């Protein structure tokens, strides 16, 4: 019997939809159809120009349904409608068009003239690629992965988070309407713990591209080890922002607010640790708190809303548990730190924008990803100390530097242990350049030529070019 799952609106805790959960037979069917589509179907064999046309159609399909997709994403995740309308949906469409327009360039063969030989370097798709995505940017991260994997010629099985499958269902319709050949895209709904192992350990799957928590990432590494698969692991973060005394204070305060409170702080690149140079600390913290208190909480689908609810009761409980532990360890709540009192918010999973002071490197909250609207703000006296504090983390995903001295900011950026460092801005992602972390934040890149090439494998064809076609190997034994 098909199992059903209720999908909740985190702004109200009401059911939005009921969807079928995949069983073992559905998984089997998805893996089979992906395998057949790759091994025998047209997709990997299409000309690049034809593949490009399909991807452009998907991009157009997303734009044609932009308002509906934004509404769904907001209802399902709780994120403010402004964010889904102006960030998630258009960026998703842009990723498909970017990789459509660049796939010929990225997949161009390389010919190298070697000593007595010629090398022909070819980029091939891996085969069947499983794409596992989290709930914080369901459509956007699915689009990143799918656009790159498909542009490279792979067939894909997408597994959205069981909390946020609704935009993936719409994406399935868009892909269907774009006319992609059967089996090229399969979408599986189900809890990660139930379907994850089956998908990731299966011999017929060639690659897994995972974005999610460190904990689940480690489990997937274990499943993939059974058959040795290509992996991309985009995991958690505990990123740091360094605000130097010469920064444009207003820009630094406003940008830092976004860097931790956008999407309710549920961002892998959230700047959850903010280090401010002591000369400007008092002014910075006063302005930061004043403005944090003004952030307007509300239902995601209200255009006035600046911060929506967290994704679930469970996630809110996790945030509260981190805060309680931080307080017990000596951290001070400078603002927020509680569930809002407003009656119109009482059913949703809201939590106030929270600022903590008195946090030291030994505390749990300094080290672990909270994934909620909690900023730890501390001061530093010299740049080397700030760099040391920023790097005192097992994660190494992102960093931000606020300073008017760009040359010095760049030299600090080079010393920050992170895959991406922003200077005087935050959260800018481009399809043209790669993104991804180091250390426990994972490995492999998304986006850019480098990220795209993760979805391909290099084949090196070497042919003899010796004079008279007489390579030494043919005479090695003297025969
Ligand atoms: P999660 O790890 O709990 O879940 C991510 C996905 O994995 C979901 O689809 C889930 O159903 C699936 N899953 C769960 N157990 C599984 C298993 N045993 N096998 C296979 N799949 C399984 O993460 P989440 O709570 O959805 O998202 C939050 C996390 O994602 C945070 O740690 C955040 O930092 C991280 N994240 C990282 C990036 C990045 O680019 N580095 C981007 C966004 C989110």
The secondary structure of 84-96 as a DSSP string is IIIIIHHHHHHHH
Is the CB–ligand 1 distance for residue 395 below 6 Å? no
Is the CB–ligand 1 distance for residue 193 below 6 Å? yes
Q: Are residues 140 and 278 in the same domain?
A: no
Q: Are residues 416 and 451 in the same domain?
A: no
In the reported structure, the alpha carbon of residue 382 is separated from the centroid of ligand 1 by a whole-number distance in angstroms of: 36
Q: Are residues 17 and 95 in the same domain?
A: yes
* Ligand 1 atom with least separation from CA of 193: 18
Q: Are residues 213 and 248 in the same domain?
A: no
pLDDT of residue 197: 87
pLDDT of residue 191: 87
**What region, left, alpha or beta, does residue 393 occupy, with left being phi > 0 and alpha being psi -120 to 50 degrees?**
beta
**Distance of alpha carbon 62 from alpha carbon 64, whole angstroms:** 5
Is the CB–ligand 1 distance for residue 234 below 6 Å? yes
Is the CB–ligand 1 distance for residue 359 below 6 Å? no
In the reported structure, the alpha carbon of residue 187 is separated from the centroid of ligand 1 by a whole-number distance in angstroms of: 16
Per the domain annotation, does 396 fall within a domain? yes
Active site residue 234: yes
User: By alpha-carbon position, which residue is closest to atom 20 of ligand 1?
Assistant: 196
Per the domain annotation, does 196 fall within a domain? yes
Is the CB–ligand 1 distance for residue 400 below 6 Å? no
Residue of 267, 238, 72 lying closest to 164 (CA atoms): 72
Tens-digit pLDDT profile for the chain (479 aa)?
679 999 999 999 999 999 999 988 999 999 999 999 999 999 999 999 999 999 999 999 999 999 999 999 999 999 999 999 999 999 999 999 999 999 999 999 999 999 999 999 999 999 999 999 999 999 999 999 999 999 999 999 999 999 999 999 999 999 999 999 999 999 999 888 888 889 999 999 999 999 999 999 999 999 999 899 999 999 999 999 999 999 999 999 999 999 999 999 999 999 999 999 999 999 999 999 999 999 999 999 999 999 999 999 999 999 999 999 999 999 999 999 999 999 999 999 999 999 999 999 999 999 999 999 999 999 999 999 999 999 999 999 999 999 999 999 999 999 999 999 999 999 999 999 999 999 999 999 999 999 999 999 999 999 999 999 999 999 999 99
CATH number at residue 229: 3.40.605.10
Write down the catalytic residue from 268, 277, 352, 446.
268
Q: Are residues 287 and 189 in the same domain?
A: no
In the reported structure, the alpha carbon of residue 64 is separated from the centroid of ligand 1 by a whole-number distance in angstroms of: 29
User: By alpha-carbon position, which residue is closest to atom 30 of ligand 1?
Assistant: 212
Q: How does pLDDT run across 307-354, given as a tens digit for each residue?
A: 999 999 999 999 999 999 999 999 999 999 999 999 999 999 999 999
Q: How does pLDDT run across 114-162, given as a tens digit for each residue?
A: 999 999 999 999 999 999 999 999 999 999 999 999 999 999 999 999 9
pLDDT of residue 16: 97
Any residues with CB less than 8 A from the CB of 17 and at least 6 apart, and which?
A: 6, 7, 166
User: By alpha-carbon position, which residue is closest to atom 22 of ligand 1?
Assistant: 192
pLDDT of residue 196: 87
User: By alpha-carbon position, which residue is closest to atom 43 of ligand 1?
Assistant: 268
Write down the catalytic residue from 73, 83, 234, 454.
234
In the reported structure, the alpha carbon of residue 26 is separated from the centroid of ligand 1 by a whole-number distance in angstroms of: 22
pTM of the shown model: 0.97
Per the domain annotation, does 434 fall within a domain? no
pLDDT of residue 288: 98
With contact defined as beta carbons under 8 Å apart, do 419 and 437 qualify?
A: yes
Alpha-helical (H) ranges within 107-191 are: 138-151, 166-178
Per the domain annotation, does 436 fall within a domain? no
Q: Are residues 192 and 114 in the same domain?
A: yes
Is the CB–ligand 1 distance for residue 440 below 6 Å? no
Q: Are residues 260 and 325 in the same domain?
A: yes
pLDDT of residue 313: 98
In the reported structure, the alpha carbon of residue 160 is separated from the centroid of ligand 1 by a whole-number distance in angstroms of: 9
Tokens matching residue 106: 């990225």
Tokens matching residue 112: 């190298």
Residue 223 CA, chain-centre distance (Å), reads: 21
Per the domain annotation, does 195 fall within a domain? yes
Per the domain annotation, does 45 fall within a domain? yes
Is the CB–ligand 1 distance for residue 369 below 6 Å? yes
Pocket test for ligand 1, best of 157, 212, 374, 446 (most atoms within 8 A of CB): 212
**Distance of alpha carbon 36 from alpha carbon 135, whole angstroms:** 30
Is the CB–ligand 1 distance for residue 212 below 6 Å? yes
User: By alpha-carbon position, which residue is closest to atom 11 of ligand 1?
Assistant: 192
Any residues with CB less than 8 A from the CB of 169 and at least 6 apart, and which?
A: 19, 187
Per the domain annotation, does 479 fall within a domain? no
Active site residue 376: no
**Nearest 5 degrees, angle CA 177-CA 152-CA 211?**
85
Is the CB–ligand 1 distance for residue 427 below 6 Å? no
Is the CB–ligand 1 distance for residue 371 below 6 Å? yes
In the reported structure, the alpha carbon of residue 474 is separated from the centroid of ligand 1 by a whole-number distance in angstroms of: 53
Q: Are residues 380 and 266 in the same domain?
A: yes
Indicate if the alpha-carbon torsion angle 134, 139, 145, 146 is positive or negative. Answer: positive
* Ligand 1 atom with least separation from CA of 446: 40
Q: Are residues 131 and 258 in the same domain?
A: no
In the reported structure, the alpha carbon of residue 123 is separated from the centroid of ligand 1 by a whole-number distance in angstroms of: 29
Q: Are residues 247 and 230 in the same domain?
A: no
Structural domain harbouring 67: 4-235+441-462
Any residues with CB less than 8 A from the CB of 469 and at least 6 apart, and which?
A: none
CATH number at residue 310: 3.40.309.10
Q: Are residues 184 and 297 in the same domain?
A: no
- Burial readout 76-87 (b: 16 or more C-beta within 10 A, e: otherwise): bbbbbbbbbbeb
Q: Are residues 325 and 214 in the same domain?
A: no
* Ligand 1 atom with least separation from CA of 437: 41
Per the domain annotation, does 79 fall within a domain? yes
How many structural domains compose the chain?
2
In the reported structure, the alpha carbon of residue 213 is separated from the centroid of ligand 1 by a whole-number distance in angstroms of: 4
């Amino acid at each position: 019997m098909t199992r059903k799952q209720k999908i909740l609106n985190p702004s109200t805790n009401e059911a939005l939809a009921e969807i079928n959960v995949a069983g073992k037979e559905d998984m089997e069917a998805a893996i089979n159809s992906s395998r057949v589509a790759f091994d025998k179907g047209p997709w990997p064999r299409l000309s690049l120009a034809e593949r490009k046309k399909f991807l452009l159609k998907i991009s157009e399909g997303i734009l044609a349904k932009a308002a509906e997709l934004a509404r769904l994403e907001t209802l399902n995740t709780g994120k403010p409608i402004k964010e889904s309308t102006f960030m998630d949906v258009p960026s998703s469409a842009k990723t498909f068009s970017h990789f459509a327009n660049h796939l010929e360039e990225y997949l161009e063969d390389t010919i190298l003239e070697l000593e007595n030989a010629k090398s022909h370097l070819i980029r091939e798709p891996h085969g069947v690629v499983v794409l596992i995505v989290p709930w914080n940017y369901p459509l956007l991260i699915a689009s990143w992965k799918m656009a790159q994997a498909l542009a490279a010629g792979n067939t894909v099985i997408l597994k959205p988070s069981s909390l946020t499958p609704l935009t993936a269902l719409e994406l399935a319709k868009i892909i269907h309407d774009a006319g992609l050949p059967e089996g090229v895209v399969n979408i599986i709904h189900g809890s990660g713990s139930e379907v994850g192992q089956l998908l990731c350990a299966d011999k017929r799957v060639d690659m897994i591209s995972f974005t999610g928590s460190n904990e689940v990432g480690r489990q997937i590494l274990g499943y993939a080890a059974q058959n040795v698969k290509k992996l991309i692991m985009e995991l958690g973060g505990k990123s740091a922002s360094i605000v130097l005394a010469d920064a444009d204070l207003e820009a630094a305060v406003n940008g830092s607010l976004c860097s931790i409170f956008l999407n309710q702080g549920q961002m892998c690149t959230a700047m959850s640790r903010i280090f401010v140079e002591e000369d400007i600390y008092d002014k910075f913290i006063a302005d930061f708190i004043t403005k944090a208190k003004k952030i307007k909480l509300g239902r995601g689908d209200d255009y006035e809303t600046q911060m929506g609810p967290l994704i679930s009761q469970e996630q809110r409980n996790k945030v509260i548990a981190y805060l309680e532990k931080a307080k017990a360890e000596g951290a001070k709540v400078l603002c927020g730190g509680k569930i809002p009192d407003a009656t119109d918010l009482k059913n949703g999973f809201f939590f106030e924008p929270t600022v903590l002071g008195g946090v030291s490197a030994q505390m749990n909250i300094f080290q672990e990803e909270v994934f909620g609207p909690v900023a730890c703000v501390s001061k530093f006296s010299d740049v080397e100390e700030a760099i040391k504090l920023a790097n005192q983390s097992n994660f190494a995903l992102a960093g931000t530097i606020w300073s008017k001295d760009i040359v010095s900011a760049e030299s600090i950026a080079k010393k920050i242990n992170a895959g991406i460092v922003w200077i005087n801005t935050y959260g800018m992602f481009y399809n043209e350049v790669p993104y991804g972390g180091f250390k426990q934040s994972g490995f492999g890149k998304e986006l850019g030529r480098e990220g795209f090439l993760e979805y391909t494998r290099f084949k090196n064809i070497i042919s003899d070019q010796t004079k008279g076609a007489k390579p030494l190997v043919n005479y090695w034994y003297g025969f």
